[in-house]
Amino acid sequence: MKSMNIAASGELIPRLSTHRNVVALDSTDFTDVAAVVITTADSRSGILALRTRTGVHLPVLRRGG
């Protein structure tokens, strides 16, 4: 069984430590994503609207500034 990915803001990717594959927010359609990690700026940018349009309900974690 293939593991799901973690989608993250580009600036957060190098800071994440996980056994899962981490993909950039702008390079996924969220169908193979288990969770989303974003910055405060991302939460204001509308990126979550893209996730909502998929119809998939994913946990979203906001980190820092």
- Condensed to tens digits (0 to 9), the pLDDT of residues 3-28 reads 899 999 999 999 999 999 999 988 98
What are the structure tokens assigned to 3, written together?
């593991």
pTM, 2 dp: 0.78
The domain total for the chain is: 1
Domain CATH code at residue 21: 3.40.50.220
The C-alpha R_g of the chain, in whole angstroms, comes to 11
Strands 5-8 and 33-38: parallel
Q: Which helix (H) or strand (E) holds 45?
A: helix 40-45
Residue 63 and residue 51: Cα distance in Å, rounded?
Answer: 17
- Condensed to tens digits (0 to 9), the pLDDT of residues 24-45 reads 988 988 888 999 999 988 888 8
- Give me the domain span that covers residue 23: 5-62
Amino acid at 60: V
